[in-house]
Structure 1
C-alpha cells in the first residue's frame, strides 16, 4: 500500500516540537558549571599558548645569538691566521663579541628551560579541564535529550496511536481473520516507516541548526589541548610523576 498519510502527519507534529527555543536546562547546575568550565578552559589554553610562544621566542633568540657567536669566532680566527697570530684590537673585539653572544645564547637557553619546566603542569591542567568539559557536555546533552523526548512523546502519543491503528486496519483490510497480522508484527513495519522518514532529515541543515539552538552549548577551544593526554590516563599519570619529580628537585 502507499505511504500511510497519518504516520507522516504524526512525524510532522514530532518535528515541530524541536523548534529553536531556550535551552531546556538553562538554569540547571550542570549547565552553569559547564559555562564556568568553558571559560576556565579558554584561560588554560591561553596560558599554554603563551608559554609555548615564549619558548619558541627564546629558541629563536638563542639560535640567533649562537649564530652571531659562530660568525664572530669564524671572523677572529680567520683574522688571527691572516695576521700570523698577531692579537690585534680587531681580533680582541671579535672575541669579546663572541663571548657576549655566547652569554646571551646561554641566558636565552636558561629562560627557555625555565618556562619548559612548567609545561607539564600547564599541559596536565589544560587536559584536566578539557576532560571535565567533555564529560559535563555529555551529561548536559543527555539531560536535554531526555527532557525533549518526554515532551515530544507527550505531544505525539495520541497522534501516533491513531496513525498506528489506522495503519493496522489498512494492512489487515480484506485479509481473512486467521491470516491477519498481529499488532506486534505490524509495529515493526509501522515504526520502520517512521524511522525512515526521520533518518531522511537527519543531515538537513535546518535540523542541525535547531539542535544547536536547542542545546545552546558554550563553545570550547580545544585547538590548544593535547587530546592524547585527555584520553590517556597513562600519559596523565606520567605527567603527574614528572611534575612531582621536578618539585622534589
Structure 2
C-alpha cells in the first residue's frame, strides 16, 4: 500500500477469523499418557527401593556372619592359649563355627554383589521415566495454556479490529491524503498503546518507554 493511500479496514469474514489451534495429540490423550507414565514411575521407584532393601539385608547378614566368625576365632584362640596349645574338642568346634560363619559371610557378599549389578539398570529406568513424566507434564501445561490463549484471543479479536478501525479513522480524520498515515504506521501506534494499557493493568509499565511517533 502506498503511503499516500487512505487507510481502509474491514472485519474478517468467518473463514478469515482466527481458529483455535488444533493440538496434534488430544489433551485427554496426553493426560492419559502422563497418568500411565506416573504409574510406571511409581512402580520403578518401588523396584529400586526393593533392590536397595535386598542389598541392605545382605549387608547386615554378611556383617552379622563376619561378627560371628570373629567371635568364634577369638574364643578358640583364647581356649588354645589356656590349654597350652592343645587342640581340644571345644577348640575344634569353635574353628568349625568360624569357618562356617566365614563361608556364610562370603555367600552373603556374593548375593549382595549379584543384586547390586541390577541397580544401574533400575536407576536408569527410573530416571528415564521421571524425565518423560516431567517433559509430558510440561507439554500438558503448555497445551492448556495455549488453548486458553487461543480462546481468549478469539474473544477479543473482533473488539480489537473494531478499535483499530476507529483509531485509524480518528488519526487520519481531516488530513489531506498525502499526510494520512499508512496501516503499518497506525498499527505500530495502536499496538504500542495497547501494550501501554496492558503494562499498566499489570502494574509493570516499562521505564522510559516512548511512543513510536516521538
TM-score, normalised to structure 1, is 0.56
Aligned match of 2:23 = none
Aligned match of 2:100 = 100
Aligned match of 1:224 = none
Query: Is the deviation greater in 77-86 or in 134-143?
Result: 134-143
Q: Which has the larger radius of gyration?
A: 2
Q: How far does residue 47 in structure 1 lie from its aligned partner after superposition? A: 0.6
Q: What residue ranges of structure 1 are gaps of 5+ in the alignment?
A: 1-24, 173-181, 201-249
Question: For 1:194, which of 198, 201, 211 is the aligned residue?
Answer: 198
Greater share of residues in helix: 1
Aligned length: 165
Mapped partners of 2:31, 2:65: distance in 1: 51
Mapped partners of 1:45, 1:158: distance in 2: 52
Mapped partners of 2:104, 2:124: distance in 1: 31
Mapped partners of 2:84, 2:200: distance in 1: 92
Please provide the CA RMSD for this pair: 3.1
Mapped partners of 1:41, 1:155: distance in 2: 40
Q: Note closer, same or farther for the CA distance 1:66–1:186 as it changes in structure 2 (3 Å cut).
A: same
> SS of the counterpart of 1:147?
helix
Query: Is the deviation greater in 155-164 or in 66-75?
Result: 155-164
Q: How far does residue 95 in structure 1 lie from its aligned partner after superposition? A: 1.3
Alignment check: 8 A CA contact 1:164 1:190 kept: no
Mapped partners of 1:144, 1:105: distance in 2: 57
Mapped partners of 2:157, 2:37: distance in 1: 38
Q: Note closer, same or farther for the CA distance 1:95–1:164 as it changes in structure 2 (3 Å cut).
A: farther
Mapped partners of 2:110, 2:93: distance in 1: 26
Alignment check: 8 A CA contact 1:66 1:102 kept: yes
1:134 aligns with 2:134: yes
Mapped partners of 2:107, 2:40: distance in 1: 33
Aligned match of 1:146 = 146
Mapped partners of 1:186, 1:49: distance in 2: 61
Matches within 5 A, 1:62-77: 62-77=62-77
Question: For 2:188, which of 184, 187, 193 is the aligned residue?
Answer: 184
Mapped partners of 1:190, 1:48: distance in 2: 55
> SS of the counterpart of 2:148?
helix
Q: How far does residue 150 in structure 1 lie from its aligned partner after superposition? A: 0.7
Aligned match of 1:232 = none
Aligned match of 2:32 = 32
Mapped partners of 2:73, 2:149: distance in 1: 76
Q: How far does residue 50 in structure 1 lie from its aligned partner after superposition? A: 0.6
Alignment check: 8 A CA contact 2:27 2:143 kept: no
Mapped partners of 1:78, 1:60: distance in 2: 27
TM-score, normalised to structure 2, is 0.64
